[in-house]
Chain A
C-alpha cells in the first residue's frame, strides 16, 4: 500500500511542477493538500487492516552486486511513517492557510517530495538506497529553506555529515561485500569502532546537537513557516531514522552509551541556556528543538527500544511545539514587525493566552506519552521535564510580562491557522483519554510548568546584561569552526601551493633542469664546433655508448 501511495504522490508532484499562473497558486496548493489528505486516509485504512506487502525494483545489476529499490509495507513501517505523514499533512494545511507564502504550490510539492524521500529512507534495505535518499532530502531541504544565506552553512554541515555516512557505508560495504542492511545485525562488523564513531559524528551534525548547532541558527534568515519545517521534515529527522536503522552497528561500539549521555547532557544544558538567554524567537526555537531532539535521540537509543505509536506521537508533539512558537511569531511579531521577544509594543495578548493554554495541554500530552513509552520517569526524563518546563515557560514570561509591552485589544488578526493547532491537539487528547493513557503522569508536568510560569525564578535575567546586543549576536561555534578548521585548511593549502608548486617546482627543479640542460648544450657545442676531428670524436663516443647500452648495458 505504501508503494502505491508513494508512486501516486510522486506522479502528482511531478505533474504539479508544471508552471501555472500565479492566480491558481492557492487552488493548486489546496488540491495537493486534499490529495495528500486522501492518501493519508488510505494509509490509515491500510494500517488499521494490517495490510502487508513488499515491492522491490532492481535498480541496477553490476558485478559488485545488485542495487534495488525497496518499499515494503508492514506494521513497523506504518508506525515509523505515521509521524512524517501527519507532520506533512499539517504543514500542507498550514501552507494553504498562510497568507504570506508567495509560492504555495511549490512549497506543497516540496513538502510532499520530502515526505516521499523520508518514506524511501524508512523502507530502504540497502546502503545505496539509504545514502541516496539522505542526499536527496538534503537537496530538497534547500528548496524548503529558499534562502541563500540561510542555506549556506546548512548545506556545508550536512554535506560533511552525508560524506561521513558515505564513508561509513563504504567501509561496511567494502568489507562485508554486501549491500544489504540486514547483514549489519548478523555479526560484528569490520572496523566497527571506526564506523560507529563516524556514524555518531554524522548523526550529531544532522541533529544539530551541541557544538554542531550553529548551522541551524543560520536558518533564522529563512521565513518562519519554512524554517521549522526543516527541523521536522529534513536533516534532524533523517538522523532520527538513520539512528533507528544503524543501531546494530552503533551498539557494537562499547563506549556508545557513555558518549551518547555526554552529548545529550551537553545539548540539554546548552539548549536550556540558549532558550532562556537568547531573545530572537527563531533562535529560541533552535535551542528548544535541540532539547527535544536530545529527548528523541535518548529514547531511541534505549536498550529495549521499539519505535511504537507513542514514540511517533512524541515526534508529532515536538512538531506541535514548533507550531505554537510559529503562531506566537505569526500573531505577535507580524503585528509589530519585531523579532525580539521582549521588545514588542502594542500587541493583542488574547491569542498569546490561548497559545499558552495550548502549550500547556501539549505539554501534558507529551508527559503522558513519555510515561506510556517508558513506563516510568527515568532520571533523564525528569531532568528533561524540569528544563523544558523552565525554557517553555520562559518564552511566555518574556512575551507577556516584559515591561516594554503595551497591550492593546486589536481584533484584526487572522485567527484561522490557530484552528489547525486546536483541532489536532483536541483530537490527540481525545484519543489519549479514550485509550485511558496515563493521565496522572500529566500532573507533575503541568505543575512544573505553572510553577515556573507563575514564580518566574529566573525573572532577573530580563533586565541583566545577558540581553545585551553584543552577547546576543555572538556565534561562538562559528568562530571556533573558522579558527580551528576553515582558516588552517586555507593556510595549509596556500603554503603548499607556494612551497611545493612555486618554490620547489618553478623556482628550484625547473630552474635546475633549465640550467643543467643549457650548460650541457653549451659544453657539447664547445666540444664539437672547434674542428671536425672533435666533432667526429663526439659522434663516435655517442655511437659507442648507444651500442654498449643496447648490447650489455641493460643486463650488466
Chain B
C-alpha cells in the first residue's frame, strides 16, 4: 500500500500537468484560473499523500523504505527501483510546498500562466522521481528529464539567448554523467543500485574517469566557481516567481547527487581533491556574498543568498561524516520555504514598483501586509531562531569548522555578509524617509498570498520546535 502511495506521489503531478494542458485559457488573457486550480489541488493532494506516507514511516531510521522494483521494458537485466528515506521524503515535501507557493504567487503575473503551471508540474514529477530513484539508470533518467520542462519555462519567460545557455550547460553536465553511467554499466551489466556502487570494481584509470565525470556532472548543477555564471545569468532574465523558484530549486538535484554518491567508493586520487573543491566552494560563497552586498537589485541579493546557502549545504555533505544528513534535510526544507516565500513577495514588490519606476526604497511603508510577511521571512532567512534553519545550520557549520577551520570561518563570514545585505535591504524597503507620494496607488499582496506567507511562517516555526512535527 505504502509503495503504491509513493508511486502516486511521483506520478500525480504528471496527471495534473495533463489536466492543466486540457484546461481552457481565459479569453487569451494569459490568466488561467482552471490551470491554477488544478495545480493547487494536485499539489495539496500530493502533500496530503506525503504526510500519510510520513505517518507510516519509521522516522528514527535512516534506511531506505517503501522499496518497489519493476523491470524495464527493453533491457531485461535492468530494473527500476523506487524508495525513500527521511531525507528524500522531506525534500519531496519541501519541493511540493515551494511549488505551491510559486503557483499562488503567479496570480499577479499573467504571461503564459497555463504553460508555466503545466511545465512546473512536469518538473515536479521528474524531481520527485529523482528523489525516489534507487537505481543508477532511473536516477540518470530523472536527472535528465527534469531539464526540458524547466527549459520551456525559462524559454517562455525570457526572450534572449539565455535559455540556450541554460540548456547547453545542463546538457554538458548530463553528458558527463551519461558517460559515467555507461562506463559503470559496462563493468556491471546487471542492475546497479546507487547504494551498491561501491561494490563495482573499476581499475584505477577508469575509476578516476568515472568518478571525475560523476563529480563534474553534479558540479554543473551547483554554482561553484566557475560554473556559477550560467545560473546567475538565467536569474537576471526570469520575470515570474514560479520559474524563479523552479530554476533556483535545480541545484538541489546536484546536492542530492553528491549526497547519494559521495563518498561511497571514490578513488583516492579524487577524494584527495575534496579539500581543494571545498576551497572552491568557500571562495564562491565569498564571491557571491560580495556580489550580493554590492548590488542593489532585490533579485540579485536573493540569488546570492540562495546560492551561499546551497554551497554551505554542499560543504556539509562533503564533510567526512554522514551524521549531518538529517540536519541538512531539516535546514534545506526550511530554506526552501523561506526562499520561495521571499521570492513571492520580492516579485510582487518588483511588479508593483514597475507602475511608478524608481527605487524600491520605502515601498513597504505603504504595503502593510507585504511588510509584515517580508520582515518575518527575512528574519528567518538571516538565521534568527524561528525555524529549523537556525540550529541545524549551527550543527552543519560546527562540523565544517571541525573539518577545516579556515573554510568554516569563511563560510560563517559569508553567512554574516548574506544576513547583512538582506537586513540592509529590508531596512531600505522600510525606510519611511524615501517614500514617494506617487507610490500611493500600489497594491498590497492579496489575501491568498498573505495567508500563504502566514502558513509558511507557521510551518517554519513548528519546524523550529520539532523538525518532524507533522509526523504523528
Contacts and interface: CB of A to CB of B under 8 A. Distances in A.
Interface of A: 59-60, 62-64, 67, 127-128, 131-132, 135-136, 138-139, 148-149, 152, 155-156, 159-160, 163, 166-167, 169-171, 173-175, 177, 191, 194, 489-494, 496-497, 500-501, 505-506, 509-510, 554-555
B420 A160 contact: yes
A489 B385 contact: no
A389 to B, nearest CB: 40
Given A64-B324, A135-B385, A167-B409, A175 B402 contact: yes
Interface in B281-329: 287, 290-295, 323-324, 326-327
A67 B398 CA distance: 15
A500 B287 contact: yes
B147 to A, nearest CB: 20
Given A155-B423, A159-B382, A159-B419, A166 B323 contact: no
Contact of A156 (B323, B395, B420): B420
Given A148-B431, A501-B229, A554 B294 contact: no
Contacts of B327: 62, 64
A138 B229 CA distance: 36
Contacts of A167: 397, 401, 408-409, 412
Contact of B226 (A63, A505, A555): A505
Given A135-B385, A490-B293, A163 B390 contact: no
A148 B412 contact: no
Contacts of B420: 156, 159-160
Contacts of B397: 166-167, 170, 174
B24 interface: no
A519 B257 CA distance: 36
Interface string B359-392: 0000000000000000000010011110000110
B191 interface: no
Nearest to A63: B323
Contacts of A163: 383, 412, 415-416, 419
B232 interface: yes
Nearest to A175: B402
B375 to A, nearest CB: 9
Contact of A135 (B291, B390, B400, B433): B390
B164 to A, nearest CB: 11
Contacts of B287: 496, 500
B294 A171 contact: no
B394 A171 contact: no
8 contacts: A138-B384, A163-B416, A169-B398, A174-B400, A177-B402, A493-B291, A494-B294, A554-B205
Interface of B: 165, 205-206, 209, 226, 229, 232-233, 287, 290-295, 323-324, 326-327, 379, 382-385, 390-391, 394-395, 397-402, 405, 408-409, 412, 415-417, 419-420, 423-424, 427, 430-433, 465-467
Contact of A497 (B209, B295, B384, B424): B295
A174 B408 contact: yes
Contacts of A490: 293-294
A501 B323 CA distance: 36
B229 A171 contact: no
| Most-contacted residue by chain A among B292, B394, B400, B432 (CB, 10 A) | B394
B121 to A, nearest CB: 33
B385 A136 contact: yes
Contacts of B398: 169-171, 173-174
Nearest to A128: B391
Nearest to B412: A167
Contact of B399 (A135, A136, A174, A555): A174
Given A170-B401, A174-B398, A492-B294, A156 B424 contact: yes
A64 B409 contact: no
Given A159-B419, A175-B402, A166 B295 contact: no
Given A60-B466, A167-B412, A148 B209 contact: no
A136 B409 CA distance: 23
B232 A501 contact: yes
Contacts of A67: 391
B391 A166 contact: no
Given A62-B395, A159-B382, 12 more contacts: A152-B427, A155-B427, A167-B401, A170-B394, A175-B402, A492-B290, A493-B290, A493-B292, A493-B293, A496-B291, A506-B229, A555-B206
Given A62-B327, A148-B431, A132 B391 contact: yes
A170 B391 contact: no
Contact of B416 (A159, A169, A177, A555): A159
Nearest to B416: A163
A159 B427 CA distance: 14
A205 to B, nearest CB: 12
A22 B232 CA distance: 50
A489 B294 contact: yes
A174 B316 CA distance: 12
Which 7 A/B pairs are nearest by Cβ-Cβ distance?
Answer: A493-B294, A174-B402, A493-B290, A174-B398, A170-B398, A173-B398, A163-B416
A392 B384 CA distance: 38
A496 B408 CA distance: 22
A152 B327 CA distance: 32
Contacts of B465: 59
A139 B206 contact: no
A469 to B, nearest CB: 21
Given A148-B431, A155-B423, A171-B401, A489 B290 contact: yes
Contact of A160 (B324, B391, B399, B416): B416
Contacts of A494: 294-295
Contact of B295 (A127, A491, A493, A555): A493
Nearest to A505: B229
A62 B326 contact: yes
Nearest to A513: B168
B304 to A, nearest CB: 9
A134 B467 CA distance: 21
B294 A497 contact: yes
Contacts of B432: 148
A170 B391 CA distance: 10
Given A490-B293, A493-B294, A497-B295, A148 B419 contact: no
Contacts of A170: 394, 397-398, 401, 408, 412
A169 B409 contact: no
Q: Looking at B293, B391, B409, B432, which has the most chain A CB atoms within 10 Å of its CB?
A: B391
A138 B386 CA distance: 13
A135 B419 contact: no
Contacts of A496: 287, 290-291, 294
Contacts of A128: 391, 394
Contacts of A492: 290, 294
A554 B205 CA distance: 8
A498 B198 CA distance: 44
Contacts of A194: 405
A490 B301 CA distance: 13
Contacts of B419: 159, 163
Given A139-B384, A163-B419, A170-B408, A64 B395 contact: yes
Given A171-B398, A191-B405, A148 B427 contact: yes
B281 to A, nearest CB: 16
Contacts of B205: 554-555
B326 A131 contact: no
Contacts of A62: 323, 326-327, 395
Nearest to A131: B394
A249 to B, nearest CB: 15
A287 B408 CA distance: 37
